[in-house]
Structures are given as C-alpha cells and as structure tokens.
Amino acid sequence: MNRPAQLVLNVNGATHVVEASARTPLLYLLRNDLALNGPKFGCGLGECGACTVLLDGVPTRACVTTAEVALGHEITTLEGLGTRSALHPVQQAFIDEQAAQCGYCLNGMIMTATALLRRDPHPELATIQRELSRNLCRCGTHVEIVRAVRRAAELLALQAGADAHDGARG
C-alpha cells in the first residue's frame, strides 16, 4: 500500500480524489493537496492536538491518521464549520472571548469543543477542562479558551431556540 493510488476522500461534504500512498498522514493530504490549512502541524506525534479534524464527528489527530483509515468516513476540517461571513457559533465564541494569543492551537481547541458540544450541549466546567486537557496551548490561554467554550454553548442554545421558534411559525 506504499505505492501512490487514487484515494477518494470525503471532506467537508465534498468528494476529492488525491494521488498518494494510502499510508500518507491525512494531515499532509488536507494541507498540501487540498489546501485546507485549518488543521495545523504541531508535534506530528499525536500529542498536541493542533491537527485535529472530525472523522464522522469524532475528534481525530490527522498527523497520526493515515489516509487509508480516513477512507469512507466523513472528514470535517475547520473550514467545514463556518464561513467568514457566517461563522460557526464556536468560532464566534472564540472571537468574542478573545481566546487566542498566537492562535496555533485554536484549530484543535475549536474542533474538539465542537464535537463536545454536539454530544453534550451543556457541559460542566470539569467536562470542558477534561475534554480539552489533551490539546496543548503553549501560550497559556486556557482560561479564555474554557470561557469561549461556555459562551459557545450559550450561543448554540440561542441558535437552537431561534430555529425552534422559526419552525413553529412555519
């Protein structure tokens, strides 16, 4: 499986064909072949979380996930959450709380938080801290990041309420 092959990847709702060895790290294909630079290369060892993407909704370290593991799964990158003109509530919350210094860890923080809030829309503080504990931030922005996740939960609840109201009005 080391020879290049045509690999079909489902990324952010679209199908992409790339030519690469099936053992290529998914992160390389996303960044180098598909120009999706939301996921970052940090440690390359599965330790820091900067490269996190969602694989069928599950936070996954793309630097240590080979392309063959990702085949047939729905891959979501930061670019798949929102757009510049219509940010995802988690992205908006990180801006509102100014939860960044250098910003290098934010991809992993936002992707991990998004998965958590889908699973648990109202997480306890301890749950947020536990979920993010394997995402490293060398700038020490943890307090603002946790605050951003709590704000994101509020924004998502507001959005769900507005959607329900619109639905009821038909």
Comparing C-alpha atoms, which of 133, 106, 105, 90 is closest to residue 43?
105
Least gap, CB of 54 to ligand FES (angstroms):
14
**Binding residues for ligand FES, per CB under 6 A?**
41-44, 46-51, 61, 63, 100-105, 137-139, 141
The residue (of 25 and 89) whose beta carbon lies closer to ligand FES is 25
Q: Which is nearer to ligand FES, 140 or 167 (CB)?
A: 140
User: Cβ closer to ligand FES: 122 or 130?
Assistant: 130
CB of 60 to ligand FES, least distance (A): 10
- CB 122 to ligand FES: min, Å: 25
CA atoms within 13 A on the CB side of 37: 3
Nearer to ligand FES, 5 or 139 (CB): 139
Closest CA to 150 of 131, 169, 170: 131
